[in-house]
Amino acid sequence: MNTNTLNNTESTKKTGYFGIYGGMFVPPALEPKLNKLSEVFEQLKNNLHFVKEFHYYLNQYVGRPSPLSFAPRLSEYVGSRIYLKREDLNHTGAHKINNTIGQILVAKFMGAKEIIAETGAGQHGVATATAAAMFGMKCKIFMGQKDAERQQLNEYRIKLLGAEFITTNRGTGTLKDAVDAALEYFIENPDSFYIIGSVVGPHPYPSMVRFFQSVIGTESRKQIIEQEGKLPDSIFACVGGGSNAIGLFSGFLEDENVKIFAAEGGGEGLYPGRTAATLEMGKQMVYQGTYSYCMADENGNPIDTYSIAAGLDYPGVGPEHAFLKDVKRAEYHCITDNEAIESFKLLSVLEGIIPAIESSHAVALAVKLLKNKNALSIINLSGRGDKDVDRKLI
């Protein structure tokens, strides 16, 4: 595709659309709240004082810029030159803190007293609770019961940070159910400030989260040029809702020679109910406030998904990813649980880096596509694997 297509889409973001995807499909009670949030965000993102404050906390609290580390043994094993964007080294251990710092500054500006959030793998919940503690705000974190059972370390961290931890037993007890619970609370308590953790949900969330996570792509582009003197041939990230991926991709979308690849949570393969590969198997529809792709049955009803990675186990996907898929600017591939587990072990043994099981999907896709290609590539290591170690994945 040409960059004009992407540039044309840039002009539509203020209205909440990426091509045909996006929008604000919410109950009337939420529309004034979200319209106000959109108005405030548009002002703040162009406010030099706000942007400076955001980057102050990224530098002094989060620990940015995160390194872009050459992976020598992985590179030798694969037969390509591979760099890892080390979001796992951020405070709290993942990319999620970039967005929660940004959104809580918006909440602070708007005079919010209570913060709420959903979480799947727990990293967004930890990052939200962390930011709320730093600014002295009340905080509620919603998590599905199944996810809470497989992410007990993050449940403990959330509670330790002073947040109220609320589990939901509805549905499959995973991320989609946590989002539903948080949205219901938000509708009933409109004075709360909802920090959505990914590039999903109604406008302005996909654009707002993208803005705060774009630091990943901005840094990566600068770092690879400094270290290699050129742009990469390809970049890789995992996708559930898709915030770490959009963060990385945003720095390279207009570079036509940089190929963009994303790994979805493939679960047990491309079987309905046993996968979370939304962009390979989903349908175009409205889901949880936005128009995008969603895993659904023949009647258009959302269906259960499955992935070993709680952060990827979500039936929807961000609207910008839907757009990038349709215009063929990015390729989305199914990575199974077994492939992710193998890469979880592989990176640990070869580089002494234990990745989150979510990030392991991106590593697996890179290993598969880069074998003996002699390509220069970046993998976004979106989080560290401490939270997954006690799951006995080896």
* Residues involved in catalysis: 96, 118, 382
Q: Which two tokens stand for residue 161?
A: 């940070």
Say if residues 119 and 141 touch (Cβ distance below 8 Å).
Answer: yes
Residues whose CB is less than 8 angstroms from the CB of residue 74 and which lie 6 or more positions away in sequence, other chains included: 82, 346, 347, 350, 351, 363
Helix axes 319-326, 205-228, angle to 10 degrees: 60
C-alpha distances in angstroms, 306 versus 29, 127, 269, 274, 297? 32, 24, 10, 5, 15
- From the CB of residue 217, how many other CB atoms can be counted at a distance below 10 Å? 24
- Quote the CA–CA distance of 143 and 147 in Å, as a whole number: 7
Half-sphere exposure of 210 toward its Cβ, with a 13 Å CA cutoff? 23
Angle at CA of residue 228, ends 225 and 229, nearest 5°: 55
- Quote the CA–CA distance of 147 and 379 in Å, as a whole number: 25
Pairing mode, if any, of strands 81-86 and 376-381?
Answer: parallel
- From the CB of residue 306, how many other CB atoms can be counted at a distance below 10 Å? 19
Burial class (CB in 10 A: 0-12, 13-18, 19+), 229: exposed
Ramachandran area for residue 292 (φ above 0: left; ψ -120 to 50: alpha; else beta): beta
Place of tokens 């930890």: 126
Q: Which two tokens stand for residue 270?
A: 């491309």
Q: Which two tokens stand for residue 316?
A: 């929807």
- Quote the CA–CA distance of 211 and 151 in Å, as a whole number: 28
